[in-house]
Each structure stands twice: as structure tokens, then as C-alpha cells.
Amino acid sequence: MSTLHWADSRLEIHRVIVGPYANNVFVLRCRETGDAVLIDAANEHEQLLDLCQRLGVRRVLETHGHWDHIQAIPAMREAGYQVAVTAADAPRLKEVGYDVFIDDAEVIEVGNLRLTAIHNPGHTAGSVSFKVQGAPLLFTGDTLFPGGPGNTSLDGGDFATIIHSIDTSLFTFPPETIVMPGHGVSTTIARERPQLGAWIARGW
């Protein structure tokens, strides 16, 4: 079964859905060099390790530290993959471990591709999204979904903060930008931006 989710002449996006909460795990791969990065080592580590070996993954990026996004980290680290998370969410990984921090506005190299890290507090204090430079692709973790923001009722969540994160950091991207969330189907900035007022009015 193919895992290819999106592609152009420069890159491939692969996706698998894992675990009891149907988490999306994405791999961004540079076609020119074969280098790749995995976003959210959520669960089903054997499947993820196979994917990493097949696609040339070199490191793991975590969008945030909620338990359903980090279950495969111990196996990934044991296999030699470096795991990166924001400093604000690092305490959530104390049981599974991590290796380096992701800074706001950091540019992450994946072969000849570049990812820009965007700090998006609100779902958790250290939630981060990743924008692919030169492509209409945005990985939002649990910050932005089709039809609204991520859950802010959990520990560390704040509705006003996540709305501000989405409005000032994510809705600044062009309308055609494809949003690839941590669960469920993809959407676009054009589809979601007009709903902002309704989200604020309903309060979730």
C-alpha cells in the first residue's frame, strides 16, 4: 500500500495513520537528495521504523508533547533517530526522551528543502507548526484542523492563545496553502480563514 500523500518535482509527502486516536504521521522527503524528516512519532513504532528506513529519514520533529503524538519516540531514539521538540513542551517528553530543541522561526534543512518552524501556543505552550519553503504545505499538528482550532480544554491549553496563534501566524499564508493536521484530512487556508469569527463566537 502506497504511503505517498502529495508530491511535486522537489519533494514527497508520505502519510500513515497510527494509534487509537488515528494520528497522522508525515514524512517530508527531498527528491533531489533522498533526505527526509518524520513529523510526530505518534505510535506503531515498527511501522514508523520501516517507513524511516525506506524513505531516508534522518530525524524526528514533534509538533507538541501530548502523549498520543510521542508513543513511538523511545523506539525511534533507540534506532538512532534524533528527536526535536520545543523547550516549552520538552517536559512532556520526560518519560520518552528527546535530543534537541526547536526554536521559533528556526529553519530546518531536509536535503535541499527548508522547513520554517512556527511557534503556535494554545493547544500546548510549545506547539509548533512547520511551513515548507517554496511549496504550499503547512504541517499544523493539533493547532489547526478543518473546521476549527485544536482542543484547548486539556492541560496547557488556552482558547484565546490558540486563536491568536492561528490568526497571526497561520492565516498569514496564501489561500492555496494546504494544511496537513495531526489528525484527520487536509484542508486549506482559504477554506478555514473565513470561519475564524464563527470559531471565536462559539468559543471552541
**Which distant-in-sequence residues (6+ apart) come within 8 Å of 44 by Cβ?**
16, 18, 19, 72
> What is the tens place of the pLDDT at every residue in 17-37?
999 999 999 999 999 999 999
The whole-number pLDDT of residue 15 equals 98
pLDDT of 1 above 90: no
Q: How many CB atoms lie within 10 A of CB 100?
A: 12
Alpha helices in 59-104 (DSSP H): 73-78
Dist CA 133 CA 186 (whole Å): 18
B/e letters for 54-84, b = 16+ CB within 10 Å, e = fewer, are: ebbbbbbbbbbbbebbbbbbebbbeeebebb
> What is the tens place of the pLDDT at every residue in 111-127?
999 999 999 999 999 99
Dist CA 140 CA 180 (whole Å): 6
The whole-number pLDDT of residue 73 equals 98
Q: How does the average pLDDT of the chain come out, rounded?
A: 98
pLDDT of 94 above 80: yes
Classify residue 184 as left (phi > 0), alpha (psi -120 to 50) or beta.
left
pLDDT of 57 above 90: yes
Domains (ranges, CATH) in the chain? 4-202 (3.60.15.10)
122 within 8 A of 161, measured Cβ to Cβ: yes
Calculate the alpha carbon distances from 156 to 66, 91, 142, 159 in Å: 10, 12, 13, 10
Report the percentage of the chain scoring pLDDT > 90: 99
What pTM was estimated for this model as a whole? 0.98
146 within 8 A of 187, measured Cβ to Cβ: yes
Max intra-chain CA distance, the chain: 47
57 within 8 A of 27, measured Cβ to Cβ: yes
Residue type at position 191: R
pLDDT tier at 198, thresholds 50, 70, 90: very high
